[in-house]
Protein backbone atom coordinates (compact mmCIF):
# COMPACT_ATOMS: atom_id res chain seq x y z
CA UNK A 1 0.00 0.00 0.00
CA UNK A 2 1.02 3.61 -0.58
CA UNK A 3 2.32 5.40 2.50
CA UNK A 4 1.66 9.05 3.27
CA UNK A 5 5.28 9.62 4.18
CA UNK A 6 6.31 8.77 0.60
CA UNK A 7 4.13 11.51 -0.92
CA UNK A 8 4.78 15.19 -1.58
CA UNK A 9 2.16 17.02 0.50
CA UNK A 10 3.10 20.68 0.08
CA UNK A 11 0.10 22.78 -0.95
CA UNK A 12 -2.04 19.66 -1.38
CA UNK A 13 -5.52 19.28 0.04
CA UNK A 14 -4.96 16.35 2.37
CA UNK A 15 -8.00 14.66 3.93
CA UNK A 16 -6.97 12.49 6.89
CA UNK A 17 -9.34 10.00 8.54
CA UNK A 18 -8.34 9.56 12.18
CA UNK A 19 -10.05 7.61 14.95
CA UNK A 20 -10.61 10.36 17.52
CA UNK A 21 -13.45 8.41 19.12
CA UNK A 22 -12.43 9.10 22.72
CA UNK A 23 -14.38 9.02 25.99
CA UNK A 24 -15.85 12.42 26.95
CA UNK A 25 -17.45 13.44 30.22
CA UNK A 26 -19.01 16.86 30.94
CA UNK A 27 -17.64 18.24 27.68
CA UNK A 28 -14.07 17.15 28.43
CA UNK A 29 -11.92 14.40 27.00
CA UNK A 30 -11.18 11.88 29.78
CA UNK A 31 -8.64 9.74 27.90
CA UNK A 32 -6.69 11.30 25.03
CA UNK A 33 -4.63 8.24 24.05
CA UNK A 34 -6.10 8.12 20.55
CA UNK A 35 -5.62 11.86 20.02
CA UNK A 36 -1.96 11.59 21.03
CA UNK A 37 -1.49 8.58 18.77
CA UNK A 38 -2.61 10.66 15.77
CA UNK A 39 -0.34 13.66 16.48
CA UNK A 40 2.69 12.49 14.52
CA UNK A 41 0.58 12.08 11.37
CA UNK A 42 -1.08 15.48 11.71
CA UNK A 43 2.21 17.24 12.49
CA UNK A 44 3.88 15.63 9.50
CA UNK A 45 1.17 16.89 7.13
CA UNK A 46 0.96 20.33 8.74
CA UNK A 47 4.72 20.86 8.75
CA UNK A 48 4.95 19.74 5.13
CA UNK A 49 2.67 22.65 4.21
CA UNK A 50 -0.39 20.58 3.39
CA UNK A 51 -3.94 21.93 3.63
CA UNK A 52 -5.00 19.54 6.36
CA UNK A 53 -8.61 18.40 6.81
CA UNK A 54 -9.21 15.86 9.55
CA UNK A 55 -12.24 13.57 9.79
CA UNK A 56 -13.36 11.31 12.62
CA UNK A 57 -16.45 9.78 14.12
CA UNK A 58 -17.41 10.14 17.76
CA UNK A 59 -19.85 7.74 19.39
CA UNK A 60 -22.84 6.38 17.55
CA UNK A 61 -25.21 9.33 16.92
CA UNK A 62 -28.30 9.06 14.72
CA UNK A 63 -27.40 10.01 11.14
CA UNK A 64 -28.89 13.00 9.35
CA UNK A 65 -28.56 15.79 11.93
CA UNK A 66 -26.13 17.61 14.17
CA UNK A 67 -26.16 16.36 17.76
CA UNK A 68 -24.32 18.51 20.31
CA UNK A 69 -23.75 15.46 22.53
CA UNK A 70 -21.61 13.86 19.83
CA UNK A 71 -19.82 17.01 18.66
CA UNK A 72 -16.07 16.83 18.18
CA UNK A 73 -15.69 20.25 19.91
CA UNK A 74 -13.98 18.81 23.02
CA UNK A 75 -11.65 16.84 20.74
CA UNK A 76 -10.76 20.00 18.78
CA UNK A 77 -9.87 21.74 22.05
CA UNK A 78 -7.63 18.93 23.24
CA UNK A 79 -6.04 18.46 19.84
CA UNK A 80 -5.23 22.16 19.60
CA UNK A 81 -3.43 22.02 22.97
CA UNK A 82 -1.46 18.91 22.10
CA UNK A 83 -0.61 20.10 18.62
CA UNK A 84 0.39 23.58 19.77
CA UNK A 85 -1.34 25.23 16.80
CA UNK A 86 -4.96 26.19 16.00
CA UNK A 87 -7.51 23.55 15.03
CA UNK A 88 -10.63 24.99 13.42
CA UNK A 89 -13.77 22.86 13.82
CA UNK A 90 -16.00 23.03 10.72
CA UNK A 91 -19.68 22.13 11.10
CA UNK A 92 -20.65 22.00 7.39
CA UNK A 93 -17.86 20.68 5.27
CA UNK A 94 -19.24 18.42 2.57
CA UNK A 95 -19.49 21.22 -0.01
CA UNK A 96 -15.88 22.26 0.43
CA UNK A 97 -13.58 23.72 3.06
CA UNK A 98 -11.14 26.61 2.67
CA UNK A 99 -7.87 25.59 4.24
CA UNK A 100 -4.59 27.46 4.02
CA UNK A 101 -1.21 25.77 3.62
CA UNK A 102 -0.09 24.46 7.01
CA UNK A 103 -3.55 24.98 8.49
CA UNK A 104 -5.46 22.19 10.28
CA UNK A 105 -9.23 21.97 10.27
CA UNK A 106 -11.32 19.29 11.92
CA UNK A 107 -14.49 18.31 10.10
CA UNK A 108 -17.42 17.73 12.45
CA UNK A 109 -18.41 14.10 13.29
CA UNK A 110 -18.64 12.07 10.06
CA UNK A 111 -21.54 10.10 11.53
CA UNK A 112 -23.83 13.16 11.32
CA UNK A 113 -23.86 12.55 7.55
CA UNK A 114 -26.59 10.36 6.15
CA UNK A 115 -25.08 7.35 4.42
CA UNK A 116 -21.81 7.24 6.39
CA UNK A 117 -22.43 3.86 7.99
CA UNK A 118 -23.74 2.16 4.88
CA UNK A 119 -20.76 3.42 2.86
CA UNK A 120 -23.01 5.40 0.52
CA UNK A 121 -21.30 6.05 -2.80
CA UNK A 122 -22.61 9.57 -3.29
CA UNK A 123 -21.46 10.62 0.16
CA UNK A 124 -18.08 8.99 -0.39
CA UNK A 125 -17.69 10.85 -3.70
CA UNK A 126 -18.46 14.18 -2.02
CA UNK A 127 -15.77 13.50 0.58
CA UNK A 128 -13.32 12.47 -2.13
CA UNK A 129 -13.97 15.72 -4.02
CA UNK A 130 -12.61 17.68 -1.04
CA UNK A 131 -9.07 16.44 -1.45
CA UNK A 132 -6.05 15.69 -3.62
CA UNK A 133 -4.85 13.00 -1.23
CA UNK A 134 -6.91 10.84 1.12
CA UNK A 135 -5.03 9.43 4.10
CA UNK A 136 -6.51 6.51 6.02
CA UNK A 137 -4.91 6.60 9.46
CA UNK A 138 -7.77 5.38 11.69
CA UNK A 139 -6.64 1.89 12.64
CA UNK A 140 -9.35 1.77 15.33
CA UNK A 141 -12.04 2.08 12.63
CA UNK A 142 -10.28 0.12 9.86
CA UNK A 143 -12.68 -2.81 10.43
CA UNK A 144 -15.62 -0.65 9.34
CA UNK A 145 -16.46 -0.31 5.64
CA UNK A 146 -17.99 3.16 5.91
CA UNK A 147 -17.95 6.22 3.67
CA UNK A 148 -15.10 7.96 5.52
CA UNK A 149 -12.97 4.83 6.02
CA UNK A 150 -13.56 2.96 2.78
CA UNK A 151 -15.70 4.53 0.02
CA UNK A 152 -13.88 7.85 0.02
CA UNK A 153 -10.62 6.04 -0.65
CA UNK A 154 -12.02 4.43 -3.78
CA UNK A 155 -12.81 7.80 -5.39
CA UNK A 156 -10.06 10.12 -4.07
CA UNK A 157 -7.31 10.95 -6.60
CA UNK A 158 -4.77 9.28 -4.32
CA UNK A 159 -5.42 7.03 -1.30
CA UNK A 160 -2.68 6.09 1.15
CA UNK A 161 -2.03 4.79 4.67
CA UNK A 162 -1.08 7.26 7.39
CA UNK A 163 1.88 6.60 9.71
CA UNK A 164 -0.31 5.39 12.59
CA UNK A 165 -2.14 2.85 10.45
CA UNK A 166 1.17 1.72 8.94
CA UNK A 167 2.74 1.34 12.39
CA UNK A 168 -0.21 -0.70 13.66
CA UNK A 169 -0.16 -3.02 10.65
CA UNK A 170 3.61 -3.44 10.89
CA UNK A 171 3.61 -4.20 14.63
CA UNK A 172 0.63 -6.55 14.61
CA UNK A 173 1.77 -8.19 11.39
CA UNK A 174 5.20 -8.81 12.89
CA UNK A 175 3.72 -10.39 16.03
CA UNK A 176 1.51 -12.74 14.04
CA UNK A 177 3.46 -13.61 10.90
CA UNK A 178 6.76 -14.94 12.19
CA UNK A 179 6.62 -14.58 15.94
CA UNK A 180 9.70 -15.32 18.01
CA UNK A 181 8.82 -18.42 20.08
CA UNK A 182 7.42 -19.35 22.42
CA UNK A 183 4.38 -17.26 21.66
CA UNK A 184 1.88 -16.67 24.45
CA UNK A 185 -1.51 -15.00 24.06
CA UNK A 186 -3.76 -13.78 26.84
CA UNK A 187 -7.42 -13.53 25.96
CA UNK A 188 -9.51 -12.25 28.84
CA UNK A 189 -12.87 -10.63 29.15
CA UNK A 190 -16.41 -11.59 29.97
CA UNK A 191 -17.58 -13.97 27.29
CA UNK A 192 -16.26 -16.79 25.15
CA UNK A 193 -19.01 -16.05 22.62
CA UNK A 194 -17.61 -12.60 21.69
CA UNK A 195 -14.06 -13.95 21.35
CA UNK A 196 -14.60 -17.47 19.99
CA UNK A 197 -13.12 -16.67 16.57
CA UNK A 198 -10.10 -15.01 18.18
CA UNK A 199 -9.58 -18.08 20.38
CA UNK A 200 -9.95 -20.42 17.40
CA UNK A 201 -7.43 -18.44 15.34
CA UNK A 202 -4.90 -18.03 18.14
CA UNK A 203 -5.00 -21.62 19.32
CA UNK A 204 -3.42 -22.66 16.01
CA UNK A 205 -0.68 -20.03 16.28
CA UNK A 206 0.44 -19.84 19.87
CA UNK A 207 2.29 -22.16 22.24
CA UNK A 208 0.27 -21.13 25.25
CA UNK A 209 -3.17 -19.56 25.25
CA UNK A 210 -3.98 -18.03 28.61
CA UNK A 211 -7.68 -17.36 29.12
CA UNK A 212 -9.04 -15.06 31.80
CA UNK A 213 -12.18 -13.55 33.27
CA UNK A 214 -15.57 -15.01 32.40
CA UNK A 215 -13.88 -16.78 29.48
CA UNK A 216 -11.68 -18.74 31.89
CA UNK A 217 -14.75 -19.78 33.90
CA UNK A 218 -16.13 -21.59 30.87
CA UNK A 219 -12.79 -23.42 30.53
CA UNK A 220 -12.79 -24.24 34.26
CA UNK A 221 -16.22 -25.80 33.76
CA UNK A 222 -14.91 -27.62 30.68
CA UNK A 223 -12.13 -29.08 32.84
CA UNK A 224 -14.85 -30.56 35.05
CA UNK A 225 -14.87 -28.13 37.98
CA UNK A 226 -17.82 -26.31 39.51
CA UNK A 227 -17.92 -22.54 38.97
CA UNK A 228 -20.68 -21.69 41.48
CA UNK A 229 -22.54 -18.52 40.52
CA UNK A 230 -19.72 -17.26 38.28
CA UNK A 231 -20.33 -15.77 34.88
CA UNK A 232 -19.87 -18.58 32.37
CA UNK A 233 -21.49 -19.91 29.21
CA UNK A 234 -22.77 -23.47 29.58
CA UNK A 235 -23.51 -23.77 25.86
CA UNK A 236 -19.88 -23.03 25.03
CA UNK A 237 -18.36 -25.71 27.27
CA UNK A 238 -18.11 -28.12 24.29
CA UNK A 239 -16.30 -25.40 22.31
CA UNK A 240 -13.88 -24.93 25.21
CA UNK A 241 -13.24 -28.69 25.37
CA UNK A 242 -12.55 -28.72 21.64
CA UNK A 243 -10.15 -25.75 21.90
CA UNK A 244 -8.22 -27.45 24.72
CA UNK A 245 -7.90 -30.63 22.65
CA UNK A 246 -6.81 -28.60 19.62
CA UNK A 247 -4.08 -26.93 21.67
CA UNK A 248 -2.85 -30.26 23.01
CA UNK A 249 -2.80 -31.85 19.54
CA UNK A 250 -0.34 -29.14 18.49
CA UNK A 251 1.83 -29.70 21.56
CA UNK A 252 0.54 -26.48 23.11
CA UNK A 253 -1.76 -25.80 26.01
CA UNK A 254 -4.69 -23.77 27.30
CA UNK A 255 -3.85 -23.84 31.00
CA UNK A 256 -6.72 -23.82 33.49
CA UNK A 257 -6.33 -21.97 36.82
CA UNK A 258 -5.38 -24.19 39.77
CA UNK A 259 -6.48 -21.57 42.29
CA UNK A 260 -8.91 -18.68 42.14
CA UNK A 261 -10.11 -15.63 44.10
CA UNK A 262 -13.79 -15.76 44.94
CA UNK A 263 -16.40 -13.57 46.63
CA UNK A 264 -20.05 -13.88 47.54
CA UNK A 265 -21.01 -10.70 45.67
CA UNK A 266 -19.82 -8.62 42.72
CA UNK A 267 -19.06 -5.44 44.63
CA UNK A 268 -16.31 -2.98 45.37
CA UNK A 269 -16.26 -3.95 49.05
CA UNK A 270 -16.81 -7.70 48.60
CA UNK A 271 -14.50 -9.86 50.72
CA UNK A 272 -12.03 -11.86 48.64
CA UNK A 273 -11.15 -15.48 49.39
CA UNK A 274 -8.36 -17.54 47.81
CA UNK A 275 -9.07 -21.22 47.18
CA UNK A 276 -8.10 -24.20 45.03
CA UNK A 277 -10.18 -24.33 41.86
CA UNK A 278 -11.83 -27.61 42.91
CA UNK A 279 -13.24 -26.04 46.07
CA UNK A 280 -15.45 -23.36 44.57
CA UNK A 281 -18.83 -23.38 46.36
CA UNK A 282 -22.27 -23.11 44.83
CA UNK A 283 -22.68 -19.51 46.02
CA UNK A 284 -19.16 -18.38 45.00
CA UNK A 285 -18.27 -15.98 42.21
CA UNK A 286 -14.82 -16.44 40.67
CA UNK A 287 -13.45 -12.90 40.19
CA UNK A 288 -9.72 -13.38 39.63
CA UNK A 289 -7.03 -16.02 39.21
CA UNK A 290 -5.25 -17.10 42.40
CA UNK A 291 -1.58 -16.38 43.30
CA UNK A 292 -0.24 -19.83 42.28
CA UNK A 293 -1.91 -19.56 38.89
CA UNK A 294 -0.70 -15.98 38.47
CA UNK A 295 2.90 -16.97 39.13
CA UNK A 296 2.65 -19.97 36.79
CA UNK A 297 1.34 -17.67 34.03
CA UNK A 298 3.96 -15.03 34.85
CA UNK A 299 6.79 -17.49 34.25
CA UNK A 300 5.30 -18.39 30.86
CA UNK A 301 5.25 -14.69 29.97
CA UNK A 302 8.74 -13.98 31.21
CA UNK A 303 10.25 -16.73 29.05
CA UNK A 304 8.08 -15.92 26.01
CA UNK A 305 9.41 -14.62 22.69
CA UNK A 306 6.12 -12.99 21.73
CA UNK A 307 3.14 -11.92 23.84
CA UNK A 308 -0.26 -10.80 22.57
CA UNK A 309 -2.58 -9.42 25.24
CA UNK A 310 -6.28 -8.70 24.94
CA UNK A 311 -8.46 -8.65 28.02
CA UNK A 312 -7.93 -8.68 31.80
CA UNK A 313 -7.97 -11.94 33.81
CA UNK A 314 -9.98 -10.60 36.74
CA UNK A 315 -12.23 -7.77 37.88
CA UNK A 316 -9.24 -5.42 38.23
CA UNK A 317 -11.48 -2.36 38.67
CA UNK A 318 -11.84 -3.63 42.27
CA UNK A 319 -8.38 -3.83 43.83
CA UNK A 320 -8.96 -7.06 45.73
CA UNK A 321 -9.55 -8.80 42.37
CA UNK A 322 -6.74 -7.04 40.50
CA UNK A 323 -3.67 -9.01 41.60
CA UNK A 324 -3.94 -11.51 38.73
CA UNK A 325 -4.09 -8.86 36.02
CA UNK A 326 -1.39 -6.83 37.77
CA UNK A 327 0.89 -9.88 37.97
CA UNK A 328 0.53 -10.55 34.26
CA UNK A 329 1.05 -6.88 33.37
CA UNK A 330 4.25 -6.81 35.42
CA UNK A 331 5.49 -10.09 33.95
CA UNK A 332 4.97 -8.75 30.42
CA UNK A 333 6.82 -5.58 31.41
CA UNK A 334 9.71 -7.66 32.76
CA UNK A 335 9.79 -10.03 29.81
CA UNK A 336 12.09 -9.41 26.87
CA UNK A 337 9.36 -10.71 24.53
CA UNK A 338 7.98 -8.59 21.71
CA UNK A 339 4.66 -7.68 23.36
CA UNK A 340 1.52 -6.11 21.99
CA UNK A 341 -1.59 -5.07 23.92
CA UNK A 342 -4.92 -3.81 22.65
CA UNK A 343 -8.55 -3.26 23.59
CA UNK A 344 -10.21 -0.76 25.91
CA UNK A 345 -10.09 -2.78 29.15
CA UNK A 346 -6.57 -3.94 28.49
CA UNK A 347 -5.32 -0.39 27.99
CA UNK A 348 -7.08 0.65 31.21
CA UNK A 349 -5.19 -2.14 33.02
CA UNK A 350 -1.91 -1.17 31.35
CA UNK A 351 -2.44 2.41 32.57
CA UNK A 352 -3.54 1.36 36.07
CA UNK A 353 -0.41 -0.73 36.62
CA UNK A 354 1.89 1.81 34.95
CA UNK A 355 3.49 -0.53 32.40
CA UNK A 356 2.84 1.56 29.23
CA UNK A 357 6.49 2.16 28.56
CA UNK A 358 7.50 -1.47 28.93
CA UNK A 359 5.14 -2.99 26.40
CA UNK A 360 6.59 -3.14 22.89
CA UNK A 361 3.48 -1.94 21.11
CA UNK A 362 0.13 -0.63 22.34
CA UNK A 363 -2.62 -0.72 19.74
CA UNK A 364 -5.27 1.99 19.44
CA UNK A 365 -7.75 -0.59 18.15
CA UNK A 366 -10.57 -2.25 20.06
CA UNK A 367 -12.79 -4.11 17.61
CA UNK A 368 -10.21 -3.60 14.85
CA UNK A 369 -7.47 -5.17 17.00
CA UNK A 370 -9.67 -8.22 17.60
CA UNK A 371 -10.56 -8.58 13.93
CA UNK A 372 -6.88 -8.35 13.05
CA UNK A 373 -6.14 -11.14 15.55
CA UNK A 374 -8.95 -13.16 13.96
CA UNK A 375 -6.98 -13.01 10.74
CA UNK A 376 -9.68 -11.00 8.97
CA UNK A 377 -8.84 -8.54 6.23
CA UNK A 378 -9.82 -5.09 7.41
CA UNK A 379 -11.98 -3.38 4.72
CA UNK A 380 -10.05 -0.11 4.86
CA UNK A 381 -6.79 -1.97 4.34
CA UNK A 382 -8.27 -4.00 1.49
CA UNK A 383 -9.29 -0.71 -0.15
CA UNK A 384 -5.75 0.68 0.15
CA UNK A 385 -4.32 -2.53 -1.31
CA UNK A 386 -6.73 -2.31 -4.22
CA UNK A 387 -5.78 1.31 -4.92
CA UNK A 388 -2.07 0.42 -4.78
CA UNK A 389 -2.53 -2.44 -7.25
CA UNK A 390 -4.34 -0.13 -9.65
CA UNK A 391 -1.45 2.28 -9.41
CA UNK A 392 1.12 -0.45 -10.05
CA UNK A 393 -0.90 -1.82 -12.95
Which positions are catalytic?
34, 191, 344, 367
Could you say whether residue 60 binds ligand 3PG (CB under 6 A)? yes
The interface region with ligand 3PG, picked from 138-146, 190-198, 264-272, 346-354 by CB under 6 A, is 138-146
The torsion angles phi and psi of 160, rounded to 5 degrees, stand at: -145, 170
Dihedral of CA atoms 324, 330, 331, 337 in degrees, nearest 10, equals: 130
| Gap between the Cα atoms of 19 and 123, Å rounded | 19
DSSP alpha helix (H) spans, 204-261 = 213-222, 237-249
The interface region with ligand 3PG, picked from 6-14, 69-77, 140-148, 345-353 by CB under 6 A, is 140-148
Classify 9 in phi/psi space as left (phi over 0), alpha (psi -120 to 50) or beta: alpha
C-alpha closest to that of 303 among 295, 314, 311, 292: 295
The torsion angles phi and psi of 137, rounded to 5 degrees, stand at: -125, 0
Please tell me whether 59 is known to bind a ligand.
yes
The torsion angles phi and psi of 206, rounded to 5 degrees, stand at: -100, 165
Classify 26 in phi/psi space as left (phi over 0), alpha (psi -120 to 50) or beta: left
Could you say whether residue 140 binds ligand 3PG (CB under 6 A)? yes
Count of other CB atoms within 10 angstroms of residue 389: 10
Q: 297 near 331, Cβ under 8 Å? A: yes
Please tell me whether 393 is known to bind a ligand.
no
| Gap between the Cα atoms of 98 and 80, Å rounded | 18
Could you say whether residue 21 binds ligand 3PG (CB under 6 A)? yes
DSSP summary character for residue 61: P
C-alpha closest to that of 356 among 33, 139, 18, 79: 33
Count of other CB atoms within 10 angstroms of residue 92: 11
Among 317, 367, 376, 382, binds ligand 3PG (CB under 6 A): 367
C-alpha closest to that of 340 among 146, 221, 202: 202
Among 151, 189, 366, 379, binds ligand 3PG (CB under 6 A): 366
> Whose Cβ is closer to ligand 3PG: residue 188's or residue 366's?
366
| Gap between the Cα atoms of 342 and 364, Å rounded | 7
Please tell me whether 57 is known to bind a ligand.
yes
> Whose Cβ is closer to ligand 3PG: residue 213's or residue 366's?
366
Could you say whether residue 144 binds ligand 3PG (CB under 6 A)? yes
Please tell me whether 78 is known to bind a ligand.
no
> Whose Cβ is closer to ligand 3PG: residue 31's or residue 200's?
31
We find the least distance from the C-beta atom of residue 363 to ligand 3PG, in angstroms, to be 11
Please tell me whether 251 is known to bind a ligand.
no
Q: How many residues form the binding site for ligand 3PG (CB under 6 A)?
A: 8
Could you say whether residue 61 binds ligand 3PG (CB under 6 A)? no
We find the least distance from the C-beta atom of residue 24 to ligand 3PG, in angstroms, to be 13
> Whose Cβ is closer to ligand 3PG: residue 260's or residue 347's?
347
We find the least distance from the C-beta atom of residue 174 to ligand 3PG, in angstroms, to be 22
Among 18, 19, 207, 371, binds ligand 3PG (CB under 6 A): 19
| Gap between the Cα atoms of 79 and 49, Å rounded | 18
We find the least distance from the C-beta atom of residue 367 to ligand 3PG, in angstroms, to be 4
We find the least distance from the C-beta atom of residue 143 to ligand 3PG, in angstroms, to be 8
Q: 379 near 142, Cβ under 8 Å? A: yes
We find the least distance from the C-beta atom of residue 19 to ligand 3PG, in angstroms, to be 5
Residue ranges that bind ligand 3PG, judged by CB under 6 A: 19, 21, 60, 140-141, 144, 366-367
User: Annotated binding site for (2R)-3-phosphoglycerate: which residue ranges?
Assistant: 34, 111, 144
User: Annotated binding site: which residue ranges?
Assistant: 19-21, 34, 57-60, 111, 144, 195, 317, 343-346
User: Annotated binding site for substrate: which residue ranges?
Assistant: 19-21, 34, 57-60, 111, 144
Amino acid sequence: IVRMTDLELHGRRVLIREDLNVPIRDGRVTDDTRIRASLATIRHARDAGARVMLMSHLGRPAEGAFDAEASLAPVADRLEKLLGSPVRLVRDWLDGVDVAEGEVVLCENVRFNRGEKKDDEQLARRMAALCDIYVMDAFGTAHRAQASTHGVGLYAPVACAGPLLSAELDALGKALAQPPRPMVAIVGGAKVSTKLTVLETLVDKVDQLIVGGGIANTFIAAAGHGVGKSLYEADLVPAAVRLMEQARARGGEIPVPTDVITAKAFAEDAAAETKPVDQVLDDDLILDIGPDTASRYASMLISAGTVVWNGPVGVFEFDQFGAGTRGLAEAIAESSAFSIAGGGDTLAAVAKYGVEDRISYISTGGGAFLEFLEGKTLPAVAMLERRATELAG
